[in-house]
Every structure is written in structure tokens, then in C-alpha cells.
Structure 1
Amino acid sequence: MSEPKRRQGAVLLGGREHSQPTADQSLLQHHRGSAWNQRDPWRVLRIQSEFVEGFDALSHLEPAVSVFGSARTPVDSPMYEAAERIGGLLAQRGFAVITGGGPGVMQAANKGAHGADGCSVGLGIELPHEQGMNDYVNLGVNFRYFFARKTMFLKYSQGFITMPGGFGTLDELFEALTLIQTGKVGHFPVVLFGSAYWSPLLAWVRDTVLEGGYVAAADLELVTLTDDIEEAVAAMGEPGQFGNA
């Protein structure tokens, strides 16, 4: 059995080096008397380099749509098949397809885009256990810091299609909705694909969050819920139609 490995930017860590904290973990912990290359001023330069690398790699990217969803989705599941079809249809319409570069839904969407001869993008992240970039990515960037990676998703996408997933998927969804709600991004279509999965969440938002006065009724109109692949893709508009493209 091979030993566990993970990427930390351009560095691959294995063996005892694998036990080092992730870059995000180190950033959020406060250490007194730590080595010079672990102090916050030095990290600022490392963070800056991640933004420069991401901007440089993606600056010539055609209008794109990000597809989010679980890394744990099996390859023989209907949701995997749907994600692959979505990736293919997006590529056929002239969109680049951006995912987190991992397995599951991400792999399926990248596979669909790759099979349609489209631009298939993976934005990877350092995790305690290496996921690795899936085989269908033809433009990949690995990040140490979640916030740098999130900036790339939002800057280079003109919409999100969000499929069933866990905390990471929910994090991306609610961050996008917050930025739309507060006017930090312009017109930015967000699709929730899979009504059986998302309907209970929307019911809670409507019956608890809205009822309690924590959001406005108009905020519930920020998302499109569908089980129709063509409707999900059509909601993204035409390449270059919206402000983030």
C-alpha cells in the first residue's frame, strides 16, 4: 500500500513530512517564536504568489461556469452521469468548465467537458490526504489557501451549477449567494441541481430563515432549482453574457 501524500502548492509531501499542518491550518493558528518562514509577513508573500499564479494561469480563459458537488459521488450514480452531461453541454455552448479538480461530481463535469473538446479546468486545494487532479483536467492549478482558490472560482465564472455535496459544496453555494445578495458580484446565475437533495434546504430557508426575518423574500429568487440538465445549462446564459465573464 502506498503511503499517503498531499500537495502543498508545488510541493508534494509524503512520509513524516505528510504530518505537517496544512497552509490554511498554519495561517489560522497563532504561534509565538515560530520560524521566519512561518510568520504572517512571510505568508503574505506566499499568498500573493498564489493570486499571481492563479491570475496568470486563468487570465486567457474563455467564459466559464463552475460545477460544484461531492467528491464522493460514485461513477455509476445518476448524479455522476448528470454532471458529465452538464459538463459536455456547457463545453458545446462555448463555456470552459471549472471544478475543484477532484473525483466524484468534479471528475464527471471535467470528463464531460474534456469529451466535448472543451476547456476543462481544475482548481485543486491542499487537503490532509491527497485527492489529486482527475485525469480529465487540461488546465489545473493547485492552491494552498481556500480563499485564494475561492477568488478564482468567482472571478472567472459567470455562474455556478451546484450539485449534491457536503460542507465544501454548501460553503461555495452560500458564499456565492452572500456576494450576490450584497452586490459584490453582478448578475450571477446559481442553479441547484437535484430537487430531492436541495428542496429540504430551501424549505428550511423559506420556513425558518425567511419567516424569522433574516432574509428577504427576493433572496429566495437568487437560485434556480431543477432536475433538468438542459434547463440548468440554459440558466447560465450565453458565454460572455454576464458581468463576471
Structure 2
Amino acid sequence: MTTSLITGSTSGIGAAFARQLAADGHDLVLVARDTKRLRDQATGLHDRHGIKTEVLAADLATDGGTDAVELRLADRENPVDLLVNNAGFANKGPYLDVPVADELKMLKVHCEAVLRLTSAATEAMRERGRGGVINLASVAAFMPRGTYGASKAWVVQFTQGVAKDLAGSGVRLMALCPGFVRTEFHQRAEKSMDSIPSWMWLDADKLVAAALTDLARGKSLSIPDPRYKVMMGVVKVLPRGLLGGVSSKTGRKGGPR
């Protein structure tokens, strides 16, 4: 039986990963800030799929929270076979309207926590000669989107770099870059989604299924939808000035996951 650890597991893409992995027979370590929601989620998945569930309440914006998850990932007696670094958030408002403290908090969750947890997980996985890490980025990583886009661009570059360094070790790493997904993510950031065309919305469960398939195929980057693959191909050839203008209109008011 394999064990998967998912951060930000109680909602959105994290919850979709938990459902899919539980259905596939993985035992789960569920990580989020809300203890009650974690326990409710763990009970539901255990009852439905007969798997073992473990809850770990932790706020990855704090050193103590990241320390606790890091310690769990380093446990050689109860190894984690798959880490899904899903926890993340967006800030409301344009640059300079957002307090610097909130921007630094984002970097702590999106970058520092991802670095520390990936390091703890892959060190133990390399010793066993197997394992996988999925780091949640975003298609925003390929567009000028301030701190959010920059942090997700870091996730992509970091993950692909580590994947190259660990090639042949049995440990796989992949950056997952979704587009717009109907989750609590946008609600928490108080984003208005009225201007987003219906065809741009993705289903979280289908996204996760595609992502797990890409990981099994050894991909280090997953954009799990043909529509977004085409869009990102166009982004590569657009002039940076034009791209910046488009991004600013959809940016913090309606950015992708």
C-alpha cells in the first residue's frame, strides 16, 4: 500500500487529489489548517474507500507548520510515496494595494514551503529508489502576473531543475499548471469570475486524473488540458508588452489557479 501526502487537501484541487488517490487505494496524510475539516475529510475517505487516513493540521505560512510536515515526510518508518504540494492562495488587489507582509506570506507558502517539503520528501524517496512529487504551479507562471505569477514561475523552474538532477534515481517530479478551476481558491481571494468564458473553466477531478497520468509517463511539466496547451503555445510567441496588457486585465481579479 502506498501513502500520499497532500497539502491544502480539504478543498479544490487538493480535495480532488485526495478523492482520486483514495479511490486508487492510496493511504493518505491530509494536511491543511482547519482541523475539523481535515477530520471530516479523513473520515469520509476512510469510510468510502477503506484506506488509512492521517490528519496533520499545519499552516505552511509559519515555520512551525512547515516544520511539522517536513518531519512527517522524513519519517523512514512510515514513508510517503507521493507528495502533492497543493497549498496556495492569491491576494486581492493590484501591486502596492497589497501589504508587503501578505506578499511575503505568499512567497513563504508557494516557494519556501515547496522547497523545504520537496527536499524532505525526495531525500527519503531517493534512499528507497522510488517516489513522486507534484508541485502545483499555474499557467500564470508563463505570464507577467506580479508576485503570484512569479512564485508559480519559480515552482515550474525549481521542479523541472530538480527533476533533471534526480533523473535515474527512481524519483519523479512534476510541476502541474492548471488554468481556471472552480474551487474555493477564487472565493477566498474575493475574485469576480463573471468575465471568464465558460469554456476556460476546468473540472478538478478530470484535471487530477490527467495530472496523475502525466506523472506516470515521466513528464516534468503538466498542462492538463488541450485548450490551455494551445493557449500557452500562443503565449510563447506573443510580444511581451501585449502579453503584459492582457495579463493585467485578468490578473488579480480573475487569475488562473
TM-score of Structure 1 vs Structure 2, range by shorter chain: 0.3 to 0.5
TM-score for the superposition, normalised by structure 2: 0.41
Larger Rg: 1
Using structure 1 for the length normalisation, give the TM-score: 0.43
* Larger relative helix fraction: 2
